[in-house]
Structure 1
Amino acid sequence: MRERINLLKDYQDAANQLRDVIPLAKFKSQKWRLVAVSRDGLDIANKLRGKLDNKINFLFSESIYAPNNEECEIARVSEGEEIVINENLVDSFGIKYDYIYGEAHRKHEEKILSYIYQYRKGKPFESVKDEVVLLVDNGSESGLKFMTALKAVLSQKPKAVYIAVPVIPSDVLESLEPFCDDIFFLYDIDDYVETSIYYESIEYISEDKIEEILGE
């Protein structure tokens, strides 16, 4: 395994550097909507927004793992029950789609709905129809999280959809590009390992902090 590579100090550093590659002037003129796809992405989105009044939301999703292997993500389900499947893994392991759909429904009922009630007081994801959306995360190992968010957001017919992510695998970058208007990133990495090694430190974002950000 490669040695730890600290490309970024922390999420504040990542947000500061992303500001140099994102056209922030358009935030005021177009009222971009920031949509986090993870709790870490929410922290970066909040730091990226700074004192601007752009809205922030959290699009919840959950991983679906291979049977008897909780480290192998084969699909992902969003709060609108959109499902994105890693077809190569599913075919390789001979996993039945009934299993995936069953797990997707279970994760939605048991986990995602609880997040919606906890963090949004039961309110559904606010429509982004005809709006400019910026999807944000701290990194991306497989691209499934972003792809699930894209599927959910694009179904609402936004004006445009962008992605902001500090570090991203080169192959994931290529796979996501056709589905969004642009991707703002700092590092695309050929031999991506896992997101955490690219930060010197990662601050845990508490439940209270999530509720505070989403309640603003």
Structure 2
Amino acid sequence: MKRYKNILIDREDAGKKLLDVVPLAKLKEESWKIVAVSKGGLALGAAIRKKLNNSLEILFSAPIMAPNNSECEVARVSETEEIVINEALVKAFEIQYDYIYGEAHRKHEENILGNIYKYRKGHPFPSMYNEVVLLIDEGSETGSKFMTALKTILNQKPKAVYIAVPILPSDVLEVLEPFVDDIYFLYNVDDYVETDLYYENLEMIDDSEILKLLEENK
């Protein structure tokens, strides 16, 4: 981990470096849809999009935590109510599926719908049918945001789906690879800890910044 600590300056730096590994010609010619899977990913996507005309969107999701551990994510639900479950954790903690589905519905109603109205004025996530999609995030501890986004996007029957992420765990890379056409990354780390450890500066993204980014990148 020491080798990779603060390997990136900020999202702007990560975006510039990702542009060196993403096939820019194809991205432009095929009008890939850039979809962030987190608020930080949205800021990174905006940094990448500065020299492009591609659309930039965010796909909202919310974590479902273990009933007796508020820091352990056992599943995730997307804004289209697709659910990805960590089966190993659910089995280990003997969590009932009724709890997962109940929490998914509650998180969708209480968290995700609020984000849709706040940031997208109530408009649903646009269809990705027959589109080429580039999913993006600033990092990935467990891969759950990407997997939830993938399940959501693949159900819409896109032409192709790619992932761009500056840094991610080696085991998450192996899990994601079978589901996408390609993954563009800078570093894959065996002993991945937390994403912010690999950036010198990873500022929180406030509401006004998200609204600004979405407005600028329509």
Residue 107 in structure 1 maps to residue 107 in structure 2:
yes
- Distance apart, 1:209 and its partner CA: 1.6
- Distance apart, 1:53 and its partner CA: 1.4
Where 1:41 maps in the other structure, the secondary structure is helix
Superposed CA RMSD: 1.3
Residue 134 in structure 1 maps to residue 114 in structure 2:
no
Aligned to 2:91: 91
Distance 1:50 1:205 in 2: 18
Q: How does 1:199-214 map onto structure 2 within 5 Å?
A: 199-214=199-214
Name stretches of at least 5 consecutive residues in structure 1 with no aligned partner: none
Where 1:149 maps in the other structure, the secondary structure is helix
Aligned to 2:173: 173
The TM-score, its normalising length taken from structure 1, stands at 0.97
Distance 1:130 1:101 in 2: 30
Aligned to 1:150: 150
Distance 1:29 1:2 in 2: 39
Change (3 A) 1:161 1:4: closer
- Distance apart, 1:56 and its partner CA: 0.6
Aligned to 1:117: 117
Seq. identity, %: 63
Kindly provide the amino acid, as one letter, of the partner of residue 194 in structure 1.
E
Residue 39 in structure 1 maps to residue 6 in structure 2:
no
Kindly provide the amino acid, as one letter, of the partner of residue 17 in structure 1.
K
Distance 2:116 2:182 in 1: 29
- Distance apart, 1:119 and its partner CA: 0.5
Distance 2:117 2:67 in 1: 29
- Distance apart, 1:213 and its partner CA: 1.8
Kindly provide the amino acid, as one letter, of the partner of residue 96 in structure 1.
Q
Name stretches of at least 5 consecutive residues in structure 2 with no aligned partner: none
Q: How does 1:60-99 map onto structure 2 within 5 Å?
A: 60-99=60-99
Which stretch of the first structure deviates more once superposed, 174-183 or 200-209?
Answer: 200-209
Where 1:145 maps in the other structure, the secondary structure is helix
Distance 2:66 2:205 in 1: 28
Distance 2:36 2:108 in 1: 18
